[in-house]
Every structure is written in C-alpha cells, then in structure tokens.
Amino acid sequence: MWTWFYRLASPPSVYALSGRLAPWLLAAAACLIAFGLVDGLAFAPPDYQQGDAFRIVYVHAPSAWLSTFAYMLMAVAGAIALIWRIKIGHAVAAAAAPIGASFTLCTLLSGSLWGKPMWGTFWAWDPRLTSELILLFLYFGVMSLRQAFEDPARGDRAAALLAIVGVVNIPIIKFSVTWWNSLHQGATVARFGKPTMVASMLVPLLVMFAGFMLFFVGVLCVRLRAEVLNRERLATWVREAVAT
C-alpha cells in the first residue's frame, strides 16, 4: 500500500499533478467567491443587531479560518517530512507559510475594520484579534528561520520543528489571551461572536468558505511547483520538466 503513496509523493508526480490541478481549482474558486460576494453583499438580509456592517463576516471568517488551517497544514506537512523523511512535505510547508501569513494579515485588517463601529477605535485588544496577531508573529518566526540557513535542507527541518512547537502552542495562546481578556475587560465589550444566522445568510458564507478553500489549494499548487523545483534543481526529471 505504501508504494502507492510514495509514488504519489515523489517530486515529479507532485510537480505534474499540481500543475494540472491549479487552473481548475483557481477557476472554481473564482466562481464561488464571485457568487458568494454578490449573494452575501446584495441579497442576504442585514443582521438585526449590526446591520450591514455584519457583511464583513463573508470575508473575515473564511480568511480567519484559512490563517489557522494553513499553519496546521504547515505543521503536519513538516512533521511528515521530518518523521518519514518524505521531502515533499517540506515543499508543501514552505509553500503554505506565505499564503497563511497573508490571510492572517487580511483577517487582522478586516477584523479591526469590523470592530471600528463597535469599539470606536481600530484596535481594542480584542482576544481573537490578539491571538491572530500572535499567529502572525509565529508565521514570521517560521518563515525567517527557514531563510536563515544557507543549506536549504537544514532550514526546512528547523522550520518544520518550530512549526510543530508553534502548533502545540496555538491553543495555549488562544486560551491564555481569552482568559486574560475576560480578566480585565469582563463582559462589558459586546462580543461580536457569531450572530444568529438565518439560512439566506448562511449560504453565501458557506460558499465563501468553499471558495477561499479552493483558492488556497490552488495557490498552494502553484507555489508547490516552485518549492519542488527549488529543492530538486539537479534531479534528472527536472531537465525535461524545465525544457518545455
């Protein structure tokens, strides 16, 4: 059974596969996101409490979810590469990091914009935004550690280990920030949790989640090709792949 998996995970087949998949994934993502945006912004009813400001959720929630999902994927891919020495894992981890970091930044921006009408300021150390900010620091740490080594193979392994340590700490950070927030601010700040979602609100959100997810995998495939090439430059299969 394992040989099937090893053949799939071999760099040339991953390079070819991701090349074929990327355009379809990105096209599907574009349709879903277009539909989700139009439906969410124009047709879904406003929230009874926050009015139309609530529509920010259609971009904020999917990117917040992607920011954490990308880190998890990076840690798991790194762990697989470290433990079973499957080199492609490092390429996946190196490809996922910048995408995850960009969505973390997007979550921070859209989150603070969403909070402005409620808090009166862009940044009010809201527990979820603070955890997202720390997640951005974690991304930055992993990416700069990977670059810091001359030998790329060692940089990959060091970054993989740091990602694993980071992923163990993410729930701890989330818990401690929430605990810290409830300690000082108590319940005074209106928590903008998930407002009650009627069906017509929920559909565009799910569509946006699917769209963002497909987009993420699509971009990951494109970046993966670059990372695989960087790591396999001298392998024989690269000759034909590059010649076309």
Partner 1 sequence: MTSGFLAMGGYAGYVWPCIGFSLATLAWNLWSAQRASRAALERARRSIAMADA
Partner 2 sequence: MTIGLSQALGLVLRRELLLSLRRPDQLLQPLVFFLIVTTLFPLSLSPELSLLRDMAPGVLWVAALLAALLSLDGLFKADADDGTLEQLVLSGIPLGLIVMAKTLAHWLLSGAALVVISPLVGMALGIPVSAFGTMMLSLALGTLTLSWLGAIGAALTVGLKRGSMLLSLIVLPLAMPLLIFGASATDRAMGGESPAGALYLLGALCVLTTTLAPLAAGAALRITLE
Partner 3 sequence: MSVVPVPLAVDRVHVWRGDRHVLRGVGFEVAAGEALHVHGANGTGKTTLLRVVTGLMRPEQGTVSWRGTGIHKDRAAYLAAMTYASHEPALKGELTALENLRFAVGMKRRVTEAELGDALQRVGVAACADLPARVLSAGQRRRVALARVLALRAELWLLDEPFTNLDARGTQLLTELIEEHLAGGGLALIVAHQELRLAATLRRLELAA
**Binding interface with partner 3 (CB under 8 A):** 150-152, 233-234
Q: Which contacts of 117-122 are long-range, i.e. CB under 8 A and separated by 24 or more positions?
A: 117/50, 117/53, 118/50, 118/190, 118/192, 119/189
The listed partner (partner 1, partner 3, partner 2, none) that binds 144, CB under 5 to 8 Å by sort, is partner 2
Q: Does 86 bind partner 2 (CB under 8 A)?
A: no
Phi and psi dihedrals of 192, rounded to 5? -90, 65
Nearer to partner 3, 47 or 232 (CB): 232
Interface positions, 148-167, toward partner 2 (CB under 8 A): 148-149, 151, 154, 157-158, 161-162, 164-166
Residue 108 CB partners (closer than 8 Å, separation 6+): 129, 132, 133, 136
Total chain residues near partner 2 (CB under 8 A)? 29
Separation between Cα atoms, residue 115 and residue 120, nearest integer Å: 8
> Is 47 strand, coil or helix?
strand
The listed partner (partner 1, partner 3, partner 2, none) that binds 68, CB under 5 to 8 Å by sort, is none
Where does this chain bind partner 1 (CB under 8 A)?
Answer: 26, 33, 37, 41-42, 46, 51-53, 55-56, 59-60, 63, 98-99, 102-103, 105-106, 109-110, 113-114, 116-117, 215, 219, 222-223, 225-227, 229-230, 233-234, 238-239, 242
> Which letter does DSSP use for residue 46 in this model?
P
Nearer to partner 3, 19 or 155 (CB): 155
> Which letter does DSSP use for residue 121 in this model?
S
The listed partner (partner 2, partner 1, partner 3, none) that binds 148, CB under 5 to 8 Å by sort, is partner 2
Q: Which residues of 166-191 are buried (b: 16+ CB within 10 A; e: fewer)?
A: bbeebeebbeebeeebeeeeeeeeee
Nearer to partner 2, 44 or 142 (CB): 142
Interface positions, 56-85, toward partner 2 (CB under 8 A): 82
Separation between Cα atoms, residue 31 and residue 207, nearest integer Å: 10
Separation between Cα atoms, residue 152 and residue 160, nearest integer Å: 12
Span of 15-23, 109-117, 142-150, 205-213 interacting with partner 2 by CB under 8 A: 142-150
Nearer to partner 1, 29 or 82 (CB): 29
Tell which phi-psi region holds residue 151, choosing left (phi > 0), alpha (psi between -120 and 50) or beta: beta
Contact in structure between 197 and 206 (CB atoms under 8 Å): no
Interface residue list for partner 2 (CB under 8 A): 82, 134, 137-138, 140-141, 144-145, 148-149, 151, 154, 157-158, 161-162, 164-166, 168-169, 172-173, 175-177, 179-180, 183
